[in-house]
Structure 1
Amino acid sequence: MNLSDAIDDMRDPAAAERLSSMIERYQPLPGIPDEFIGADGKPRDMWMRYLNALTNLGSEEIGRRFAAADRHIRDTGVFYRSYGEAKERIWPLSHLPLLIEAREWRGIARGVGQRAELLERIVADVYGEGRLISAGDLPAAAVVGSPDFLHPLHGVSPPGGKFLQFLAVDLGRGPDGRWWVLGDRAQAPSGAGYALANRLVLSRAFPALYRDMNVERLAPFFHDFRVGLSTLADRSDPRICLWTPGPLNETYFEQAYLARYLGFILVEGGDLTMRDGKIHIRTIAGLKRADVLWRRIDGDYADPIELNSQSRLGVAGLVESVREGGVVLANALGSGVLESPAILSFMPKLCRKILGEDLLIPNIATWWCGQRAERAQVLQRLDELAVAGAYGNPVLRFPQNQPVVAGLLSAEERARLVGFIEERGVDYVGQEVVNLSTTPVWIEDRLTPRPFVLRVYAARTKDGWSVMPGGFCRISDRADARAVSMGSGVQSADVWVLDEKPVEMVTLLPTNDTARIRRLMGNLPSRAADNLFWLGRYLERVEATLRLVRCLAGRMVNTDAETGAAGLTVSKVVSLIVSWHAAPKSKARDLLTLCAIALHGEDEYGSALCLMRDARRAASFIRERLSSDTWKLIDDLDRSLGAARKPVRSEVEASEQADAALRVIAAISGLAQENMNRGAGWRLFDIGRRVERAINSSRFARMFAGPAAPFDDLEVLLELVDSQITYRSRYLMGVELNTVRDMVMLDPFNPRSVAFQVDRLDEHLEGLPVLSDDGMLEKPRRQVVKLRAEVTTAVAADLDAERLLQLEKQLLDLADSIASRYFLQGPHNARADRWTGLA
């Protein structure tokens, strides 16, 4: 059946017309295999089933579903970074999946499983007995020449004796229609989290289509992987961590996403320390043992003592802990040597040598130029080959890991390349030029073929290697692409493996009555506690700045605002805005410009925009601990305040913009109060908010509640602490100094007062874990107990400027003590008492 016949067979004329317009111009590239159109020139049945179901939805509904998918990606903050960039990019999801029949996928799974076992045997021999090198099957230079070969790990066998727990294989379909291996990823394979995110987005956008196409689920694969990691530890209830390079890593989102999905603790190198041969996490409850680390950092950066001394990502003493069997690493340090293109050239021979069989999925033909005959062959065929670095090193002026098609070079560059290969051939490999097959993508309401690379994942389980029924597909925006990486213009597609029969719904959530009940997430890492605390503080600072701007804008409406007592009050508000570095002093007389800068200024670190960006940065470090609704609000407020530095044309507009931002802040606070689990994380977040609010309220009182404070000052103070309605419902005689002081500073029933904040701080600190069970109060708790007693027994009439300043300093000291005790600095680095145990 050709395309025309397939369309004519459709019963719905409208749907047939939509399908015709969608595919009428679809032309596979000459000589290139295509996933939609078979070698016989006919559309594949699975694609016609999919497209028929899609077109039956109607054009408007298809557009609505695609828009919903894009909106979900944006709202949940799915992002990536290009290498070397700090800017976050919205994840570029293709609206169409890559379809593969289960029968074909079973062949892929067998080939990837075979390759995983082969790679395990190779790396075990390289760091073990070295029989392959001694027998001449694998040249020593091809191994030790790689920067990923870690000499300190030679002779070290990992716990359980297995080096690889999780790996990936990049595949492309060759001109003959067969799948070919383009490269292996054994160091720290990326993309699995994005594959999960892709699946979630498309299955939600097209639930019926996803179900009716019998798409195989991903959850069983991840469940088996998680169980496999658990069995490697020497404890029945191990603590498994996902070790990330940090929030600035290109794929940080997927690392946080995977940690949340699998229930792992997301840690950075600074969260970890080696004690007594074991690795521990620094938590607010002291040091807690980490049994398994699923690492996403390169092996060379894992230990600054024995490996790369310049690394700030690693853990001092990690290699020693590995030697002593104190921690399980997935994958083992040094496994990155398997990714070298130099090793790729020996895979066919090694497979026959080690497994006694040919590769089920061959890799692209590769010749390592460290051997005389192979070097001569590469130089002889140079114009028809691609040249790549043998160990990931760059070739000529081209970026790292990017092959160079020698036939496209200038005569001068070609001559230089020949000289490099002749002088030091060990650094280069020659490879057949890869022409990637194509898959349909949706461009301007019709299908267009684009080249793609498929990354397939394998995980070690208690029953052997398991291959994910799906993967991570990268699609180029260029029809002639020879390689695909996640750069500008590249899309990612979900991979649907289509079974012949309905697929059972599977989830990682436990479904039997024997599942262990947990009500808390466990010990909170100090890094996460730090960022939760500062997220709360930054949000409170944003709110304080917004209230100042709204207060100033409201008084600008009054024509007498700049004269008499009212003018002095306005000058105090301006003075606060300037002293907080929300706006420059040079704009103090231009009140409208002052308001605009305080709202949207990018050069003043105290502006609402800059503070919100600080809050968003803190939130991005703990993305796995925030709900999607919370993240969406934070992202919305950040974009709203920074939207082209909004013009502020009037005091009314300034007030309205501040009002809108304050409503979002209130929504974030509401979500935190209603949706966050009442564990240590919520307590640290609320502690940050409470301590910052108490500091700001004390500062406001010191400015506007001094002796003989005028009516306007007291009105402003009540407005800034959001207590006007409470005050007027309680006092009928109008504002008076001592009653205002009492409500703002000492009233334990006013949720905006300093006394209320101190009470909550005491409750939170009492609920946090201690390092020692000796019955003694830790420093932050001692300070807050003393402060609570002073505030409880204080009298409003005695709260002069000196006393208010003293309270403000006590609150600042309390914030410092909290940081020293619970975060990555100061006394928390000390080892927890023996009684607490390094559990």
Structure 2
Amino acid sequence: MKIEGYNASDHYDEMFTETGVIRQHYEEFSQGLKKIALKKMNHLQFSANQTQKAMGMTFNVYHDNQGLEKILHLDIIPRIIPNEEWLHLESGLKQRTYALNLFLQDIYNDRKILKDGIVPEELILGSKDYLKPCVGLTPPKGIWCHITGTDLVKNKDGEYYILEDNLRCPSGVSYMLESREIIKRAYPDIFNQKGIRPVSDYPAKLLRMLQHLSNKAKPVVGVLTPGIYNSAYYEHSYLALQMGVELVNGVDLIVEDKKVYMQTTKGLEQIDVLYRRIDDVFLDPRTFRPDSMLGVPGIFEAYKAGNVALANAPGTGVADDKAVYAYVPKIIKYYLGEDPILNNVPTYLCREEKDRKYVLDHIHELVVKETNAAGGYGMLIGPKASSEEHAKFKELIKANPTNYIAQPTLSLSTVPSLTEEGVQARHVDLRPYILYGNEIEVIPGALTRVALKKGSLVVNSSQGGGSKDTWVLYN
């Protein structure tokens, strides 16, 4: 199958080799795609968009002055990952998750890794995400990071690189699940023939993991949401519904005798496990921010007393700081005695004088990131930025070097995507979801985010990116 005007020569394309030959894991799909006319493809895309709207698959963009809810555009052409490639990713993600959990337990207790000088003490203890109320705590079952969404990219060398770890309240899994249902209906014949690993059991696995955190035989589980104005509220309500548990706001909960109760029509009911989608500092106005209207007064004391489990555990944010990210290979080696299976992107820490000088001298070649920003904000893509933007970021780095890191500009891999000009190559990243309960499990699918604009490397939904269904093959 040859696609008219398709360019896959200056980067790694996941469907075509540099010479235009179809990669083996895409061959069956391309045969089925041949039978679908472009007009039919456009009709399928329109139907997918309408289905998303009907299902309420929308999100708010906080930085959008119009304040409108938008759908996360689902591109109709799936991304396909061969089984051998996925198994490599799976082993690397399990290794990384296990090591980061040991790191969190250590830095809030013995601090051996800091005393041994592997990670700078001031980087951790001086971080705004290092929560002093968590010092000395061990979460239920010793697990800190229960739900992780790790972002990866495939570079032009065909290798995957870890871009960042999301250990706080990673979002997007509902889009992974619902996108699968939409795409299955778009290509029923192709889907049934290919042998694609399912993702539909994620809610059941998530519930089992949450129940594992309690010592009760039948624990009561809930999803704690900030409310309907949160950008990911659709996901909160979707997951609560799929798990068959209560969706609660802070005002629905009350703490008595260091136990958390839901207010129901039949009176108070104790809740044992909360999948919280509220940021750490808003959880409890008595312990963290006193002006928080989202949290539950006294919930942190209930947590410390062991009467409620929280997923993810408060305090995990310090481990996915972009400056700490640079030390994860050393963290893996320190705790596990192993080399990382998946590599980091080479990272320059602007807090280090040598690195800072290199970044300032080569800013036009690098991607500069604010260490605590998310959603594609606080970032400069040097090769695509203006000289004015270069100058602005140089001043920001000089004023607060600890707040910035820099990385080489990667040539993200591309996947065929349906655009107004027909099927074109668009850059993608990958966010697999990892659950840590009785064991560490990587869900055999992922949220693939796609940059919808030609040549763009920014895939974040808040910056105009879209998504794809991700097919992981059995063999």
TM-score, length-normalised on structure 1? 0.54
Q: Which runs of 5+ in 2 are unaligned?
A: none
Q: Residues 228-274 of structure 1: CA distance to partner in whole angstroms, max 9, x if unpaired?
A: 22121121111111111111111111221111112221111111121
Residue 25 of structure 1 aligns with which residue?
A: 5
Residue 389 (str. 1) matches residue 364 (str. 2)? no
Q: Residues 357-391 of structure 1: CA distance to partner in whole angstroms, max 9, x if unpaired?
A: 12111111112222333333433433322222223
Match among 324, 348, 353 for residue 367 of structure 1: 348
Q: Distance in 1 between matches of 2:99 and 2:424?
A: 38
Match among 83, 87, 90 for residue 62 of structure 2: 83
Residue 263 of structure 1 aligns with which residue?
A: 244
- Structure 2 letter corresponding to 1:74: K
Residue 470 of structure 1 aligns with which residue?
A: 445
Q: Distance in 1 between matches of 2:394 and 2:451?
A: 30
Quick check: 2:429–2:450 contact (8 Å CA) kept in 1? yes
Quick check: 1:455–1:472 contact (8 Å CA) kept in 2? yes
Q: Distance in 1 between matches of 2:361 and 2:15?
A: 38
Q: Residues 418-474 of structure 1: CA distance to partner in whole angstroms, max 9, x if unpaired?
A: 444344322221222233211111124832000111111100132x21101111111
Tell me the CA shift for residue 225 of structure 1: 3.0
Tell me the CA shift for residue 329 of structure 1: 0.6
- Structure 1 letter corresponding to 2:290: S
Residue 281 (str. 1) matches residue 262 (str. 2)? yes
Q: Residues 279-309 of structure 1: CA distance to partner in whole angstroms, max 9, x if unpaired?
A: 1111111111111111111111111111112
CA RMSD of aligned residues (A): 2.2
Residue 13 of structure 2 aligns with which residue?
A: 34
Residue 50 of structure 2 aligns with which residue?
A: 71
Q: Distance in 1 between matches of 2:115 and 2:339?
A: 22
Q: Which has the higher helix share?
A: 1
Quick check: 2:221–2:273 contact (8 Å CA) kept in 1? yes
Match among 403, 412, 416 for residue 436 of structure 1: 412
Quick check: 1:435–1:481 contact (8 Å CA) kept in 2? no
Distance of aligned partners of 1:408 and 1:192 in 2 relative to their CA distance in 1, 3 Å threshold: closer
Bigger radius of gyration among the two: 1
Tell me the CA shift for residue 414 of structure 1: 4.2
Distance of aligned partners of 1:449 and 1:227 in 2 relative to their CA distance in 1, 3 Å threshold: same
Residue 486 of structure 1 aligns with which residue?
A: 461
Q: Distance in 2 between matches of 1:201 and 1:148?
A: 38
* Greater RCO, CA 8 A, separation 6+: 2
Q: Residues 515-559 of structure 1: CA distance to partner in whole angstroms, max 9, x if unpaired?
A: xxxxxxxxxxxxxxxxxxxxxxxxxxxxxxxxxxxxxxxxxxxxx
Match among 135, 156, 173 for residue 154 of structure 2: 173
Q: Distance in 2 between matches of 1:415 and 1:184?
A: 29
Q: Residues 122-181 of structure 1: CA distance to partner in whole angstroms, max 9, x if unpaired?
A: 111121211111111111222233322211111111111111111010011012110111
Structure 2 matches for 1:59-458, cutoff 5 A?
A: 62=41, 64-85=43-64, 86-392=67-373, 401-406=377-382, 414-415=390-391, 417-444=393-420, 446-458=422-434
Q: Which moved more, 1:260-269 or 1:320-329?
A: 260-269
Tell me the CA shift for residue 417 of structure 1: 3.8
Quick check: 2:203–2:243 contact (8 Å CA) kept in 1? yes
Q: Distance in 1 between matches of 2:366 and 2:126?
A: 23
Tell me the CA shift for residue 411 of structure 1: 5.4
Distance of aligned partners of 1:194 and 1:409 in 2 relative to their CA distance in 1, 3 Å threshold: closer
Structure 2 matches for 1:502-651, cutoff 5 A?
A: none
Distance of aligned partners of 1:148 and 1:400 in 2 relative to their CA distance in 1, 3 Å threshold: farther
State the SS of the aligned residue for 1:450.
Answer: strand
Residue 600 of structure 1 aligns with which residue?
A: none
State the SS of the aligned residue for 1:96.
Answer: strand
Distance of aligned partners of 1:93 and 1:309 in 2 relative to their CA distance in 1, 3 Å threshold: same
Quick check: 2:224–2:247 contact (8 Å CA) kept in 1? yes
Quick check: 1:221–1:467 contact (8 Å CA) kept in 2? no
Q: Distance in 1 between matches of 2:413 and 2:192?
A: 27
Tell me the CA shift for residue 58 of structure 1: 5.3
User: What percentage of aligned pairs have identical amino acids?
Assistant: 30
State the SS of the aligned residue for 2:165.
Answer: strand
Tell me the CA shift for residue 67 of structure 1: 4.0
Quick check: 1:242–1:264 contact (8 Å CA) kept in 2? yes
Quick check: 1:181–1:363 contact (8 Å CA) kept in 2? yes
Q: Which runs of 5+ in 1 are unaligned?
A: 1-6, 8-19, 394-398, 501-839
Q: Distance in 2 between matches of 1:405 and 1:160?
A: 41
Quick check: 1:224–1:461 contact (8 Å CA) kept in 2? no
Distance of aligned partners of 1:413 and 1:68 in 2 relative to their CA distance in 1, 3 Å threshold: closer
Tell me the CA shift for residue 110 of structure 1: 1.0
Residue 54 of structure 1 aligns with which residue?
A: 33
Distance of aligned partners of 1:306 and 1:477 in 2 relative to their CA distance in 1, 3 Å threshold: same
State the SS of the aligned residue for 2:74.
Answer: coil
Q: Distance in 2 between matches of 1:476 and 1:309?
A: 39
- Structure 1 letter corresponding to 2:280: G
Q: Distance in 1 between matches of 2:410 and 2:284?
A: 37
Q: Distance in 2 between matches of 1:285 and 1:112?
A: 44
Quick check: 1:65–1:206 contact (8 Å CA) kept in 2? no
Tell me the CA shift for residue 72 of structure 1: 2.2
Distance of aligned partners of 1:61 and 1:345 in 2 relative to their CA distance in 1, 3 Å threshold: closer
Tell me the CA shift for residue 416 of structure 1: 5.1
Structure 2 matches for 1:641-790, cutoff 5 A?
A: none
Q: Which has the higher strand share?
A: 2
Q: Distance in 1 between matches of 2:372 and 2:54?
A: 39
Quick check: 2:363–2:390 contact (8 Å CA) kept in 1? no
